[in-house]
Chains A and B, each alone.
Chain A
Amino acid sequence: MSIEAQSILNETFVLNLGPQHPATHGVLRVKLTMDGEYIMDADPVIGYGHRMHEKMGENRSYAKFLPNTGRMDYIAALFNGHGYVGAVERLAGITVPERAEYIRVITSELNRISSHLLWLGAFLVDLGGFTPLLYCFDDREQILDLLESVTGSRLTFCYYRFGGVSSDIDENFAAGTRTFISRLRSRMPMYDGFVTKNIIFRKRVEGIGPISAEVCRKYGATGPVIRGSGVAYDVRKSEPYSVYPKFNFDIPVYHECDSMARYKVRIEEMVQSMRIIEQALDTLPLGPVMAEKVPRTLKPAKGDCYYNVESARGSFGVRLVSDGSENAYRLKLRSPCFSNMSLFRECSAGMLLPDALALMGSLDLVIPDMDR
């Protein structure tokens, strides 16, 4: 074959996915080098939502940074807050009263359910099924109302404080949560029949987007991504924090490594979260919700520490370096979406474009969390 004919056959073109695009959840740009319908190379270009939270952490006192934590991963904002206050409490040696820990667990798990519900709707929209989104939002609305009654916000929560939580929960909240749990439990079979057993949905995700456990390890992918690849790594069980050791729950792990496995992990996680919330409500102790004698201007001891929590998207970590002053010396925010997305380039090579989008949807990305 002549060189000219060969170059026509190997002709690739560059297609820009985003930054404005319905399927990239936020402003994400992916430079795709395509050969027809196949992706030869996918180079994500991120940073469109970069606001330099880490510098803001150095420019303001510890308490003033609390609202920032809700703006990174805004869908699962309580986890980011938990990571930050946990890091500061670890360095400053503050003990959190038990009731506050229970409340943190209850609200975090509610946030996990609402985050997974939103992911479920958005994932189906990516695949072209518009209707389940509205059903998920129906359930999610109840969680947002519950959390609003206790935290004051529906989305970007700033509820945890150093040493506890800012306000106590009451009987209405507990009763409302129990009603919500029983309602969601009764709706899970509907989701099962409508989505999980839908033949077209199954054809779109079964066997699509394989991510092996080795790739997860090399790229640091955590959360449902690694649990859908057969590795039982969940920070709540492997590096227990707060009062999670007191509750009975399972970690869903599936070994197929495809998008369907990650989907099933998240559905099962919602069920397990409901178990945790019920146990927490049943055994909720009385007491204060705020530690005593927490200084107004917190000045933790010199040194550094790392604190990580199991966010809805993976392991969210905070590395805090303190020099004894009232501002942090260095605040590193380890974002789960950042690590999860970094494997996209390697995993999407040679895939069809719709399959790559199904893979990206199953990674559950929130771009402001990736960009910080």
Chain B
Amino acid sequence: MISSDMIMELVRLILYVVGFLAFALFNAAYLTLVERKVASWSQLRPGPIEVGTWGLLQPVADGLKLLGKQILTPEGADLILFKLAPVMVVVPGILCLVTLPFSDTIAPRNFNLGLLMIFSFGAIGVFAILLGGWASNNKYSSIAAARVVAQNIAYEIPMLLVVISLVFVSRTFNLHTIVDQQMGGFWHWNVLNLKASLMMPVAFLIYFICMLAETNRAPFDMVEAESELVAGAFTEYSGMGFGLFFVAEYLNIMVGCCVGTILFLGGWDCPFGLLPGLHWFLIKMYALCFAVIWVRWSFPRTQFYGLLNLSWKILIPFALANLVLTALMLKLFH
């Protein structure tokens, strides 16, 4: 029989689905505007100011423009994979939002394996870019796709190592519990949790760098590498297909910043322990997003082998050291 509980649950689910789709896509769209504004401030120019005051309607204009373009399929492209790739690249970002708790009460589902779920879905995004690059039947795209895989494999490893050492400390994959353990002021936050591991701030830095690389942001944007490979894996995409790749990039940034906030910066906790809530989560998340955008416009692109060297020869040893140190301190002091 259909009980009132089930109906309530159904309504709640529908609200969350609609809400999260709206939130995710609204954020992805307006992050493009934030990016353009930060770019222009660092370059001494005003940025988008024509469409709406302060350019606030610019993402709407961009979206309408992309919708109005003709969808071209290159000759010789694998039709199914070509059309599947943009769809596949957006899905993981939205799915990850299901497990993320935004505040004490706002969380669609409280999975016990929430952290594991996020990293599993993250891998699907890489796969989608690879498919898109290969299915375009274009040499530039194939080169870019190969680079994406190499880059993402290289940077998954230190990120996972850092997160595992965090899991040692928190003893759970449940994101809600991880935040609960950090409540009470910034000295409880994981980034400053020196009782667990002396290298925690370094771990946060490693996580931030890996997040830049996983989301293919400059200085690790070999995928797009505008001045070398035109648009890399997305060269052959037009209209909304390209738009979806774009949306997915900003969505990934947002999800990466959310996860960083939850894992290291105390989630919805206030720095002084006073009024925790959704607003603090959003402030921290957007601060991390701003840092990501800021880094993009300050540095040129690294060399591809420089990028891989950084991961395999520097980040992984440090992440391993952090892991061993955490385990050691856990054994000795607890």
Cα separation A355 to B219 with both chains bound (whole Å): 16
Q: Does B315 count as interface, using CB distance less than 8 angstroms?
A: no
Contacting B at CB under 8 A, from A204-250, are 204
Is the CB–CB distance between A134 and B44 below 8 Å? Answer: yes
Query: Are B297 and A200 in contact (CB-based, < 8 A)?
Result: no
Is B300 engaged at the interface, CB distance under 8 Å to the other chain?
A: yes
B3 touches A (CB below 8 Å): no
Contact check, A23 vs B300: say whether CB atoms are below 8 A apart: no
Chain B residues near A198 (CB-CB < 8 A): 299-300
Mark out the residues of chain A between 104 and 152 whose CB falls within 8 Å of any chain B CB in the assembled complex: 124-131, 133-135, 138
* Contact of B4 with A by CB under 8 A: no
B304 touching A127 by the CB < 8 A rule? no
Q: Which one, B23-31, B224-232, B252-260, is touching chain A?
A: B224-232
Smallest Cβ-Cβ distance to B222: which chain A residue = A354
Instruction: List chain B residues, Cβ under 8 A from A173.
Output: none
Closest to B42 in A: A131
Interface check A357, CB cutoff 8 A:
yes
What's the nearest-Cβ distance from chain B to residue A301, in Å? 50
Asked if residues B228 and A23 are in contact (CB atoms below 8 Å), the reply is: yes
Q: What is the minimal beta-carbon distance from B190 to any residue of chain A, in angstroms?
A: 28
How far apart are the CA atoms of A37 and B228 in the complex, in Å?
12
A100 to B183, CA, bound (A): 76
Q: In the bound complex, how far is the Cα of B300 from the Cα of A22, in angstroms?
A: 15
A354 in complex: contacting residue of B218, B297, B304, CB < 8 Å? B304
A13 near B139 (CB under 8 angstroms)?
yes
- A127 and B44 contacting across the interface, CB-CB below 8 Å: no
A355-B228 Cα distance, complex, nearest whole Å: 11
Q: How large is the interface on B (under 10, 10 to 19, 20 to 34, 35 or more residues)?
A: 20 to 34
Q: Give the residues in chain A near B218, CB-CB below 8 Å.
A: 128
- Residues in B with CB closer than 8 Å to A357 are 227-228
Known: A129-B301, A131-B297, A134-B44. A353 touches B228 (CB 8 A): yes
Partner of B300, one of A204, A353, A355: A204
* Cβ of B302 under 8 Å from chain A: yes
Docked Cα-Cα span, A15 to B228, in Å, equals 12
Give the distance in Å from the alpha carbon of A126 to the alpha carbon of B227 in the complex: 6
- Could you tell me the distance between the alpha carbons of A21 and B306 in the complex, rounded to whole angstroms? 24
How many whole Å from B32's CB to the nearest CB in chain A? 16
Question: In the complex, are the beta carbons of B43 and A128 less than 8 A apart?
Answer: no
Q: With A22-B230, A200-B301, A357-B227 in contact, is A130–B43 under 8 Å at CB? A: yes
Closest to B147 in A: A37
The distance in angstroms between the C-alpha atoms of A5 and B304, with both chains bound, is: 28
| Chain A neighbourhood of B227, CB < 8 A | 22-23, 125-128, 357
| Docked pose: A208 CA to B196 CA in angstroms | 44
A-contacting residues, B280-327, CB 8 Å: 297-306
Residues of A within 8 A of B228 (CB): 23, 353-354, 357
Q: Return chain B residues, CB-CB under 8 Å to A48.
A: none
In the complex, the chain B residue whose C-beta lies closest to that of A135 is B44
In the complex, chain B residues whose CB is within 8 Å of the CB of A129: 298-301
A-B complex: 4 closest residue pairs judged by Cβ atoms: A128-B301, A129-B300, A134-B43, A127-B300
A-B contact pairs, 20 of them (CB 8 A): A15-B139, A23-B227, A124-B300, A126-B227, A127-B301, A128-B299, A128-B301, A130-B39, A130-B43, A131-B298, A133-B43, A134-B44, A138-B44, A200-B219, A200-B302, A200-B306, A204-B301, A354-B301, A355-B303, A357-B227
Apart from A21-B230, A128-B226, what 16 extra A-B contacts exist at CB < 8 Å?
Answer: A13-B139, A15-B139, A22-B227, A37-B143, A126-B227, A129-B300, A129-B301, A130-B39, A131-B298, A134-B43, A200-B219, A200-B301, A203-B306, A204-B303, A352-B304, A357-B228
